[in-house]
């Protein structure tokens, strides 16, 4: 059995041009708190099950120094998947997962730990694609991870309203964790120094074709002229300005099938004017 | 002493002093570990100043072609202000905007990381996120440092403490006999974002040229000074405030900074800007007068840790002194290691070399300047006198005839309570200090 952690090398403090919205590399790349929690979780599972631990990352060569820090904290093997993409070119989450799952399969990884989503506005979908690609069970967005037995995990997930959901998954499985699950242990000084020359396995994956990073353009909501609030007293004017105490449609909770819920949401969006009505759509 | 060492030298702190020391040691073929408590060099720095890079000429030829600079300073202004008046001496030199340049504004996280990379390229081992928590000693001699990592003891023939102002290592080594709060100031700074074009327009510069404005009379009842520096797309606006008097008063530094930003001479410069960052840091203001012992058994002190920050009114410099002292410390350590004598006697030529360079020569010559700049005359009376004299000089009082300059000066001196004798005395003092 091998426990693996998948991490994404991201710019933790990107610089955003306020005029154009262009995002540039701030030169401060590293690992998100969730990814570090995933590595710590993998290390704990590896210790509990006496299993080796590997970290896998699709990252450029510039990530090597940061990857070696995982060797310093006790990761047995670090694999960097070299995508060979030009700067500014990205892969879809599903393509990233395909590449990673090939590597994880070759490592014979039984349990894969990921951060719940990457720090660069990631969708958090890679773990799900990974589970699909590996044909493994998935339990995503965990806030607690406990071992039940060899290869078996009990995870706690966050639900709405402060509720919690408990899931039990058995290997092979992919889990993703929030950053609060665990803090990566501190490497000893000797291990930190020794890890400087630790080997990193590089797996080249040639022939990939990504898409250019989305171009962002400046946008600001158009200003709307609001009439001055009426009322003699300041309180009246504040009430009118804020819309407090005004009659409104109260929120309601409905329990519907997925199709009916989607239809209800669409109807409401039409009612608010965000979507054109069915009659208008059909007439066009 | 145990003969087992992990490195020839340990440099604590990867700021400009530490990076320069590690660079020189590595170039001399010594194994050196550069410890940095932040996640990367420069991550812990707070700085809003000008980097004078001449000292880099010897370390990194043509450094200006690669150093991460925000703007090259081509305008230096000294502003003397009262509540609603300001006198500015403005010097512009276009030659400073071309190689080999004079000074530059820079973001320290960029600059320090760049300089530390030079050291690692030369062979130094950089270990980040690691704090040196104390010294390892054998028989009173420093033989290494203890860090906050598990199994974190690190041994070396020499430790160079570049751990910044209020150096815990230098204190632990007994190199600071006492700490006097009056030797320190607190620097507070806002980084204010503005579009490049707006900065160019407001400060009258183009391209990568920038402005350095030093201000006196902007700190109310607390002795100190202010500054405005232009970065590429932001301003560094801040104050330097006497620590004891700030602590004794009721006004918080951010309030004093707010007041300076609303001054008629400053408000148009910062108007519409977005505060990106607020930070504060202690500064070793007293320079030469507060310097510790620079050399101990197995240990050297450099940079802010050795109070090598020049706060002499018209000269406000720190990074160049840090680089200069760090480089000399690295060279002295390398020589001592080569001789096999890293005792205080073996390291003693560090101080001798510093005395022969600008690092201690400037500090020694200007040792009285910090006190002079912080004196009530410079802080309170001089701004009112200068602004008052110019107000009288430029106010047209027709049909009254124009008063003579001597009459104006005498009248204003009387109003501010400055006697001719006192003015001459202080003038001579200033001449002796800066002359």
Indicate which CATH number applies to the domain containing B304. Answer: 3.50.50.60
Q: How many CB pairs under 8 A join A and B?
A: 34
Same domain, B16 and B131: yes
Same domain, B31 and B138: yes
* Partners of B159 in the β-ladder: B10, B299
pLDDT in tens, B242-264: 999 999 988 999 999 999 999 99
Same domain, B117 and B203: no
Same domain, B13 and B137: yes
Please answer yes or no on whether B113 and A27 come within 8 Å at the CB atom: yes
Contact in structure between B305 and B167 (CB atoms under 8 Å): yes
* pLDDT for A216: 55
* DSSP count for chain A of H helices, then E strands: 8, 15
Distance CA A80, CA A68 (A): 11
pLDDT-wise least confident of B142-151, B204-213, B379-388:
B379-388
User: What number of CA atoms fall less than 13 Å from residue B98's CA on the CB side?
Assistant: 3
Nearest one of A2, A1, A24, A10 to A115, comparing CA atoms: A10
* pLDDT for A193: 93
Boundary of a domain, candidates B284, B312, B336: B284
Please answer yes or no on whether A192 and B130 come within 8 Å at the CB atom: yes
* B33, B109, B150 ranked by CB distance to A188: nearest: B150
Q: Looking at the domain assignment, is residue B414 inside a domain?
A: yes
Nearest one of A173, A139, A141, A137 to A160, comparing CA atoms: A141
Indicate which CATH number applies to the domain containing B186. Answer: 3.30.9.90
* pLDDT for B312: 79
Distance CA B49, CA B64 (A): 17
- Tell me: pLDDT of B13 over 90: yes
pLDDT in tens, A272-283: 778 777 655 555
Chain B CB contacts of A192 under 8 Å are 127, 130, 149
Chain B CB contacts of A13 under 8 Å are none
Find the chain A residues whose C-beta atoms sit closer than 8 A to any C-beta of B.
Answer: 18-19, 27-28, 30, 186-190, 192-193, 196
Nearest Cα of chain B lies from the Cα of A64 at a distance, in angstroms, of: 15
pLDDT in tens, A90-109: 788 888 999 999 999 999 99
| Angle, vertex CA A189, rays to CA B341 and CA B127, nearest 5 | 75
Torsions phi, psi for B281 (to 5 deg)? -155, 150
Same domain, B345 and B206: no
Same domain, B155 and B240: no
Count CB neighbours of B305 within 10 A.
33
Nearest one of B252, B244, B314 to B280, comparing CA atoms: B252
Same domain, B219 and B294: no
Chain B CB contacts of A30 under 8 Å are 39
Boundary of a domain, candidates B366, B392, B425: B366
pLDDT in tens, B82-125: 999 999 999 999 999 999 999 999 998 889 999 999 999 999 99
Chain B CB contacts of A189 under 8 Å are 127, 130, 147, 149-154
- Tell me: pLDDT of A7 over 90: yes
ipTM of the complex: 0.78
- The pair of three-digit structure tokens given for residue A180, joined into one six-digit string: 């609060």
Please answer yes or no on whether B125 and A196 come within 8 Å at the CB atom: yes
pLDDT in tens, A70-96: 999 999 999 999 988 777 677 888 889
Residue B265 Cα distances to B88, B230, B270, B271, angstroms: 10, 16, 10, 11
pLDDT-wise least confident of A21-25, B116-120, B298-302, B304-308:
A21-25
Token look-up 């806030």 returns: A143
Nearest one of B285, B282, B278 to B316, comparing CA atoms: B285
Contact in structure between B74 and B210 (CB atoms under 8 Å): yes
Chain A CB contacts of B113 under 8 Å are 27
Nearest Cα of chain B lies from the Cα of A90 at a distance, in angstroms, of: 26
Nearest Cα of chain A lies from the Cα of B149 at a distance, in angstroms, of: 5
pLDDT grade for A214, boundaries at 50, 70 and 90: low
Interface mutation vs chain A, best among B150, B156, B234, most A CBs within 10 Å: B150
Q: Which residue has the higher pLDDT, A36 or B373?
A: A36
- Tell me: pLDDT of A224 over 80: no
pLDDT grade for B1, boundaries at 50, 70 and 90: very low
- The residue ranges of every structural domain in chain A are 2-212, 234-283
Chain A CB contacts of B40 under 8 Å are 28
H/E/C letters for each residue in chain B? Answer: CCCCCCEEEEEECCCHHHHHHHHHHHHCCCCEEEECCCCCCCCCCCCCCEEEHHHHHHHCCCHHHCCCCCEEEEEEEEEEECCCCEEEEEEECHHHHCCCCCEEECCHHHHHHHHHHHHHHCCCEEECCCCEEEEEEECCEEEEEEECCCCCEEEEEEEEECCCCCCHHHHHCCCCCCCCHHHEEEEEEEEEECCHHHHHHHHCCCCCEEEEEEEECCCCCCCEEEEEEECCCEEEEEEEEEHHHHHHCCCCHHHHHHHHHCCCCCHHHHCCCEEEEEEEEEEECCHHHHCCCCEECCEEECHHHHCCCEEECCEEECHHHHHHHHHHHHHHHHHHHHHCCCCCCCCCHHHHHHHCCHHHHHHHHCCCHHHHHCCHHHHHHHHHHHHHHHHHHHCCCCCCCCCCHHHHHHHHHHHHCCCHHHHHHHHHHHHHHHC
What class has domain A2-212? alpha beta
Query: What is the chain B residue with the closest CA to A19?
Result: B195
Q: Which residue has the higher pLDDT, B341 or A283?
A: B341
pLDDT in tens, B26-40: 999 999 999 999 988
* pLDDT for A271: 84
Chain A CB contacts of B152 under 8 Å are 188-189
Please answer yes or no on whether A186 and B154 come within 8 Å at the CB atom: no
* A27, A189, A196 ranked by CB distance to B147: nearest: A189
* pLDDT for B2: 46
* pLDDT for A219: 55
* B109, B113, B127 ranked by CB distance to A192: nearest: B127
Same domain, B197 and B264: yes
Distance CA A68, CA A39 (A): 13
Same domain, B337 and B217: no
Boundary of a domain, candidates B255, B284, B313: B284
Query: What is the chain B residue with the closest CA to A188?
Result: B150
* pLDDT for A21: 66
Percentage of residues in chain A having pLDDT higher than 70? 87
Chain B CB contacts of A187 under 8 Å are 149-150
* pLDDT for B39: 86
Interface mutation vs chain A, best among B151, B156, B275, most A CBs within 10 Å: B151
Nearest one of B44, B56, B17, B19 to B34, comparing CA atoms: B19
Contact in structure between A84 and A61 (CB atoms under 8 Å): no
* pLDDT for B169: 96
Q: Looking at the domain assignment, is residue B195 inside a domain?
A: yes
Please answer yes or no on whether B40 and A18 come within 8 Å at the CB atom: no
As a whole number, mean pLDDT of residues B183-202 equals: 94
Count CB neighbours of A151 within 10 A.
18
pLDDT in tens, B134-175: 999 999 899 999 999 999 999 999 999 999 998 999 999 999
* pLDDT for A45: 97
Same domain, B209 and B170: no
Please answer yes or no on whether A187 and B151 come within 8 Å at the CB atom: no
Chain A CB contacts of B195 under 8 Å are 18-19
Distance CA A25, CA A41 (A): 29
Reduced to 3 states, what is the DSSP secondary structure of residue A148? strand
- Tell me: pLDDT of A51 over 80: yes
- Tell me: pLDDT of B422 over 90: no
pLDDT in tens, A109-141: 999 999 998 877 778 899 999 999 999 999 999
Same domain, B229 and B306: no
* pLDDT for B28: 97
Count the domains in chain B. Answer: 3
Residue A20 Cα distances to A23, A24, B195, B200, B329, angstroms: 9, 11, 12, 19, 46
* B40, B149, B193 ranked by CB distance to A189: nearest: B149
| Phi-psi category of residue B169: left, alpha or beta, with phi > 0 → left and psi -120 to 50 → alpha | alpha
Nearest one of B127, B172, B42 to A192, comparing CA atoms: B127
* A19, A186, A196 ranked by CB distance to B150: nearest: A186
Please answer yes or no on whether A30 and B195 come within 8 Å at the CB atom: no
Note down the domain range covering B381: 375-434
pLDDT grade for A24, boundaries at 50, 70 and 90: low
Reduced to 3 states, what is the DSSP secondary structure of residue A10? strand
What is the distance, to the nearest Å, from the Cα of residue A133 to the centroid of all Cα atoms in its chain?
A: 17
Interface mutation vs chain B, best among A185, A189, A190, A198, most B CBs within 10 Å: A189
* pLDDT for B88: 96
């Amino acid at each position: 059995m091998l426990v693996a952690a998948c991490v994404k090398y991201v710019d933790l403090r990107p610089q955003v041009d306020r005029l154009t919205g262009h995002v540039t590399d701030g030169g401060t790349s590293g690992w998100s708190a969730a990814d570090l929690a995933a590595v710590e979780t993998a290390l704990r599972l590896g210790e509990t099950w006496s299993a080796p631990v590997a970290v896998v990352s699709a990252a450029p060569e510039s990530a090597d120094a940061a990857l070696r820090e995982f060797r310093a904290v006790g990761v047995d093997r670090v694999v960097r998947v070299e995508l060979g993409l030009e700067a500014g070119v990205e892969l879809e989450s599903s393509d990233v997962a395909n590449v990673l799952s090939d590597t994880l399969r070759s490592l014979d990884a039984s349990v894969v730990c990921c951060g719940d989503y990457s720090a660069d506005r990631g969708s958090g979908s890679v773990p799900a694609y990974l589970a699909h690609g590996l044909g493994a069970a998935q339990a995503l967005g965990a806030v607690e991870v406990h071992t039940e037995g060899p290869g078996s995990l009990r995870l706690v997930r966050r639900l709405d309203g402060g509720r919690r959901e408990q899931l039990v998954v058995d290997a092979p499985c992919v889990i993703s964790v929030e950053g609060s699950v665990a803090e990566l242990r501190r490497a000893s000084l000797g291990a930190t120094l020794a890890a400087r020359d630790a080997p990193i396995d590089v797996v080249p994956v040639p022939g990939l074709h990504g898409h250019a990073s989305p171009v962002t353009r400046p946008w600001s909501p158009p200003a709307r002229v609001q009439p001055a609030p009426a009322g003699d007293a300041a309180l009246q004017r504040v009430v009118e300005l804020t819309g407090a105490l005004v009659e409104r449609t109260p929120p309601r909770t409905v329990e519907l099938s997925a199709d009916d819920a989607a239809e209800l949401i669409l109807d409401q969006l039409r009612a608010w004017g965000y979507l054109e009505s069915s009659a208008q759509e059909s007439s066009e | 002493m145990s003969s087992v060492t992990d490195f020839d030298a340990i440099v604590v702190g990867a700021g400009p002093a530490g990076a320069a020391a590690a660079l020189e040691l590595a170039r001399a073929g010594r194994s050196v570990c550069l410890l940095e408590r932040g996640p990367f060099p420069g991550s812990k720095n707070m700085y809003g100043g000008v980097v004078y890079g001449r000292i880099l000429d010897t370390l990194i030829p043509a450094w200006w072609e690669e150093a991460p600079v925000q703007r090259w300073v081509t305008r230096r202004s000294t502003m003397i202000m009262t509540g609603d008046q300001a006198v500015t001496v403005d010097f512009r030199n276009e030659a400073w905007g071309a190689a080999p340049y004079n000074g530059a504004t820079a973001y320290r996280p960029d600059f320090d990381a760049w300089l530390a990379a030079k050291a690692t390229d030369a062979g130094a081992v950089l270990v980040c996120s690691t704090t040196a928590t104390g010294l390892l000693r054998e028989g009173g001699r420093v033989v290494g440092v203890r860090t906050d990592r598990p199994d974190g003891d690190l041994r070396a023939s020499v430790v160079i403490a570049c751990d910044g102002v209020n150096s815990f290592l230098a204190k632990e080594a007994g190199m600071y006999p006492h700490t006097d709060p009056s030797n320190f100031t607190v620097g507070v700074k806002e980084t204010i974002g503005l579009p490049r074009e707006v900065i160019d327009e407001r400060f009258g510069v183009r391209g990568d040229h920038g402005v350095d404005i030093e201000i006196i009379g902007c700190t109310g009842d607390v002795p100190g000074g202010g500054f405005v520096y232009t970065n590429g797309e932001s301003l560094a606006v801040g104050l330097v405030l006497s620590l004891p008097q700030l602590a004794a008063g009721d006004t918080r530094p951010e309030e004093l900074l707010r007041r300076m930003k609303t001054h008629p001479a400053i408000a148009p410069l910062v108007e519409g800007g977005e505060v990106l960052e607020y930070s504060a840091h202690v500064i070793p203001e007293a320079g030469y007068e507060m310097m510790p012992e620079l050399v101990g058994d197995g240990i050297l002190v450099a940079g802010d840790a050795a109070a090598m920050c020049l706060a002499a009114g018209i000269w406000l410099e720190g990074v160049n002194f840090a680089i200069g002292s760090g480089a000399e410390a690295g060279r002295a350590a390398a020589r001592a290691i080569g001789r096999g004598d890293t005792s205080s006697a073996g390291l003693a030529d560090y101080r001798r070399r510093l005395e022969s360079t600008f690092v201690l020569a400037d500090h020694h010559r200007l040792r009285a300047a910090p006190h002079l700049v912080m004196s009530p005359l410079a802080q309170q009376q001089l701004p009112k006198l200068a602004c008052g004299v110019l107000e009288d000089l430029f106010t047209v009082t027709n049909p009254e005839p124009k008063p003579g300059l001597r009459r104006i000066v005498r009248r204003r001196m009387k109003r501010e309570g400055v006697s001719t004798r006192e003015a001459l005395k202080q003038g001579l003092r200033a001449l002796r200090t800066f002359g």
